[in-house]
Structure formats: structure tokens, C-alpha cells
Amino acid sequence: MTPQELVVRMLPPFGGWLALAALALPGGSPLRGAAVAVFLAAGPGVALVGLCAPALRVRPAQGPVDGRDPGFARRSDLLERLMLIVFVSVGAVMIVATVLFATHAFTAQRVLLALTVLTTLAAFCPRLRASPPTPGKPRTGKGSAL
């Protein structure tokens, strides 16, 4: 892992701990709002999608039948990753907050702390990779000429 990759990987947990630190600022302050909102909207998603990205990429994506632009699929993959980052983050916030309410343990600080710990763990985990295709077993779709 290059130093640059390490910095990128550590950004989401850093954002979480920064958001926790920002709670010391007065309520309604723009800095506190920005730190919290940015982390909740993207932090857990960046860490979790980053953790799974190599394994997710191996499954081919469907594209337009008459695709001619080689960069089109790449940009679609990027958009998909961005979408997953946002939706995984939103999902994580909603699920963690609900679990804490259901267990009578809700405080907003606990929600943020739980998400930050989750993000930190995901950032430190080795990237998940899909198993290589089974040798000697050709994949032929139904109706294939082979």
C-alpha cells in the first residue's frame, strides 16, 4: 500500500473522529454541521464500499446493447460507486439509530461513535477479493453455442 492509498483509506475514520470532536463546538455552528453532515452522508459508505470494491468489481455490469464509448462503462461504474457510498451511509445511519432506539440506548453521540468505530474497522480491514473462477469449468450461459 502506498502512502497515498493509506491517506485515502484513513480519511473516512478521520472524518468520523473529527465529527465527534466537532460536537464540542456550539450547537448550530456551521463547522459542526459540516463535519457531521459530511461524515454521515459519506463516511461509512466510503469505508464499507472501499472494503468490498475489489470483490464487487468482478461481477460484470450490464450496459447498453449498442455501447460504443469505452469510457461510458467506466463512468457508469464510478456513478454506481458514488451512489452506493451515499446509500450505504444513509442506510447505516438509519439502521444504527433505529437499533439504539429499539434497545433503549439511544443518544446521538452513541450513533456517531458506533458509525465512527464501524468506519475505522472497515478502513483497517484487508480489502475483500472475489474468489478466482473455478479452473477447468467453463461458464457457458443457457443457449450458448459452446
Q: Identify the residue among 3, 4, 5, 68 touching other proteins (CB under 8 A).
A: 68
Instruction: Report d(CA 11, CA 119) in Å as an integer.
Output: 10
Q: Identify the residue whose cell numbers are 460484470.
A: 60
User: Does position 107 bind other proteins by CB under 8 A?
Assistant: yes
Candidates 2, 140, 145, 146: give the one binding other proteins (CB under 8 A). Answer: 140
Burial of 142 (0-12, 13-18, 19+ CB in 10 A): exposed
Indicate which single residue of 21, 31, 38, 108 sits in contact with other proteins (rule: CB under 8 A): 108
Q: Does 46 bind other proteins (CB under 8 A)?
A: no
Taking contact as CB under 8 A, which single stretch among the options 4-12, 96-104, 118-126 is the one that binds other proteins? 96-104
Give the one residue of 2, 3, 66, 145 binding other proteins; rule: CB under 8 A: 66
20 in the Ramachandran plot: left (φ > 0), alpha (ψ -120 to 50) or beta? alpha
Whether 91 and 48 have beta carbons less than 8 Å apart is answered as no
In degrees to the nearest 10, what's the CA dihedral of 116, 117, 123, 126?
-160
User: By C-alpha distance, which of 52, 55, 22 is closest to 122?
Assistant: 52
Q: Residue 68 CB, nearest distance to other proteins (Å)?
A: 7
- Cα–Cα distance between 40 and 95 in angstroms, integer? 12
Is there binding between residue 91 and other proteins (CB under 8 A)?
A: yes
Q: Which CB atom, from 2 or from 146, has the smaller least distance to other proteins?
A: 146
Residues in contact with other proteins by the rule CB under 8 A:
19, 23, 25-29, 32-33, 36-37, 40, 52, 55-69, 72, 76, 79-80, 82-84, 86-88, 90-95, 97-98, 100-102, 104, 106-109, 111-112, 128, 130-131, 133, 139-142
